[in-house]
Amino acid sequence: AEKKAKDLQNLLNQYAYEYYVLDQPSVPDAEYDRLLRELIEIEEQFPELQTPDSPTLRVGGEILTMFNKVQHAIPMLSLGNAFDDQDLRDFDRRVRQGVGDNVSYVCELKIDGLAVSLIYEEGMLVRGATRGDGTTGEDITSNLRTIRSLPIRLKEPVSLEVRGEAFMPKKSFEALNKKRKDREEEPFANPRNAAAGSLRQLDPKIAASRNLDVFLYGIANVGDTGIRAHSKGLDYLEQLGFKTNKERRKVDSIEGVIEYVNGWVEKRPDLPYDIDGIVIKVDSLDQQEELGTTAKSPRWAIAYKFPA
Ligand SMILES: COc1nc2nc(N)nc(N)c2nc1C
Predicted confidence (pLDDT) at residue 308 exceeds the cutoff of 80: no
Global confidence as pTM: 0.95
Parallel, antiparallel or unpaired: strands 275-282 and 105-111: antiparallel
Predicted confidence (pLDDT) at residue 222 exceeds the cutoff of 90: no
Per the prediction, the chain carries an average pLDDT of: 97
Task: Return the HEC string of 82-109.
Answer: ECCHHHHHHHHHHHHHHHCCCCCEEEEE
Q: Is 110 a catalytic residue?
A: yes
Q: CA-CA distance, 163 to 249, in Å (whole number)? A: 19
Helix (H) or strand (E) holding 275: strand 275-282
Is 214 touching ligand 1 by the criterion CB < 6 Å? no
pLDDT band at 156 (very low <50, low <70, confident <90, very high): very high
Helix (H) or strand (E) holding 192: helix 191-199
The CA 1 to ligand 1 mean position distance, Å, reads 45
The predicted model gives 148-161 an average pLDDT of: 97
| Minimum-distance ligand 1 atom for the alpha carbon of 297 | 15
Torsion of CA 96, 265, 134, 97, to 10 degrees: 10
Is 112 touching ligand 1 by the criterion CB < 6 Å? no
Per annotation, catalytic residue among 6, 110, 155, 281: 110
Burial group, residue 193, by CB count within 10 angstroms (0-12, 13-18, 19+): middle
End-to-end CA gap in the chain: 55
Tallying the residues shown for the chain, one arrives at: 308
**C-beta contacts of 294-302 below 8 A and 24+ residues apart:** 296/77, 296/78, 297/77, 297/78, 297/79, 297/80, 298/77, 298/79, 299/94, 299/95, 299/98, 300/95, 301/79, 301/80, 302/79, 302/80, 302/81, 302/82, 302/87, 302/88, 302/91
Can you point out the beta strands (E) in 159-212? 160-167
Q: What percent of the chain has pLDDT over 70?
A: 100
| Minimum-distance ligand 1 atom for the alpha carbon of 165 | 11
The CA 110 to ligand 1 mean position distance, Å, reads 7
| Minimum-distance ligand 1 atom for the alpha carbon of 79 | 15
The predicted model gives 201-217 an average pLDDT of: 97
Closest C-alpha to 152, from 227, 240, 29: 240
Q: CA-CA distance, 99 to 75, in Å (whole number)? A: 24
The predicted model gives 76-95 an average pLDDT of: 98
Helix (H) or strand (E) holding 118: strand 114-121
Instruction: Please choose from 74, 79, 110 the residue to mutate so as to test ligand 1's pocket, defined by most ligand atoms within 8 A of CB.
Output: 79
Residue 117, SS3 per DSSP:
strand
Is 77 touching ligand 1 by the criterion CB < 6 Å? yes
101-129: pLDDT as tens digits: 999 999 999 999 999 999 999 999 999 99
pLDDT at 61: 86
CA 258 to chain CA centroid, nearest Å: 25
| Minimum-distance ligand 1 atom for the alpha carbon of 109 | 8
Predicted confidence (pLDDT) at residue 282 exceeds the cutoff of 80: yes
pLDDT band at 98 (very low <50, low <70, confident <90, very high): very high
pLDDT at 18: 97
Is 108 touching ligand 1 by the criterion CB < 6 Å? yes
- Given a contact cutoff of 8 angstroms between Cβ atoms, the answer to whether 141 and 116 are in contact is no
The CA 164 to ligand 1 mean position distance, Å, reads 7
The CA 217 to ligand 1 mean position distance, Å, reads 6
Torsion of CA 276, 278, 284, 287, to 10 degrees: -80
Is 191 touching ligand 1 by the criterion CB < 6 Å? no
The predicted model gives 196-224 an average pLDDT of: 95
Sign of CA dihedral 177, 178, 179, 180: positive
The CA 224 to ligand 1 mean position distance, Å, reads 20
Nearest CA to ligand 1 atom 9: 110
pLDDT at 93: 98
CA 90 to chain CA centroid, nearest Å: 29
Biggest distance spanned by C-alpha atoms of the chain: 66
Is 43 touching ligand 1 by the criterion CB < 6 Å? no
pLDDT at 54: 96
The CA 71 to ligand 1 mean position distance, Å, reads 19
Is 79 touching ligand 1 by the criterion CB < 6 Å? yes
pLDDT band at 224 (very low <50, low <70, confident <90, very high): confident
9-60: pLDDT as tens digits: 999 999 999 999 999 999 999 999 999 999 999 999 999 999 999 999 998 8
